[in-house]
Amino acid sequence: MYLMKDITRDGNPVLRKRAAKVSFPLSDEDQKLAKDMMKYLEVSQDPELCKKYKLRAGVGLAAPQVGVSKQMAAVLVPAPDEDEKPLFKDVIINPVIVSESVQYGALTEGEGCLSVDKDVPGYVPRHDRITLRYQDVNGETHKVRLKHYPAIVCQHEIDHLHGVLFYDHINKDQPFEAPADTVMIS
């Protein structure tokens, strides 16, 4: 199971590389990678276990963040109401954003990253709605439309597969400036 010590931090070149496409069927190693990344998110979202293992509660984890430059990321976006099923839960492999809204969306709190220990204040303008195509661990292709928070999380994770970190998107001169009709997401 991954612990914080296993998560690569900003400055590690692996976070600035373009990750390699994953081939199917998954090797045993890639199957284990997918399982372990999702396990991190599940454990980190359990308050007891999160504390026990000193984790940062995460909603997404990309393979480069555990030192593996492959196009794979685990996403676990919980429902606002905890006894509902998650808004989005899957390991997205070779993800491609096939269409995106012109309208931007941004978290009112700004973003952070499991791989970035410092706070970087500012809005991170992303697309408010996306259509995402990806393969799951069984090689099945999915095409899903996401909006608001789940769309933000998936864009954040897919950025990691392209060597992009959230603060690359923050306006240097006006960090809390966002395009006119940006959907502010809290």
Catalytic residues: 157
107 is an interface residue for Zn ion by CB under 5 A = no
Nearest distance, CB of residue 25 and ligand UDB, angstroms: 26
Q: Is the dihedral of CA 47, 52, 63, 121 positive or negative?
A: positive
170 is an interface residue for Zn ion by CB under 5 A = no
Measured CA to CA, the distance from residue 137 to residue 72 in angstroms comes to 10
Which of 154, 127, 159 lies closest to 142, judged by CA?
A: 154
Report whether 154 belongs to an annotated binding site. no
> Applying CB under 6 A, what is the total number of residues that bind ligand UDB?
19
156 is an interface residue for ligand UDB by CB under 6 A = yes
Which of 60, 80, 69 lies closest to 19, judged by CA?
A: 69
Contact of residue 91 among ligand UDB, Zn ion, none (CB under 5-8 Å per partner type): none
CA dihedral (89, 136, 56, 153) in degrees, to 10, reads: -70
Cα–Cα distance list, 104 to 60, 145, 147, 167 (Å):
20, 15, 11, 16
Binding residue for ligand UDB (CB under 6 A) from 15, 66, 71, 160? 160
Among positions 109-148, residues that touch Zn ion (CB under 5 A) are 113
111 is an interface residue for ligand UDB by CB under 6 A = yes
Contact pattern for ligand UDB over residues 71 through 90, marking x by CB under 6 A: -------x------------
H/E run at residue 172: none
Among positions 125-154, residues that touch ligand UDB (CB under 6 A) are 152-153
Contact 127, 105 (CB under 8 A): yes
Give the binding site for ligand UDB (CB under 6 A).
Answer: 45, 56-62, 65, 78, 111-114, 152-153, 156-157, 160
Give the binding site for Zn ion (CB under 5 A).
Answer: 113
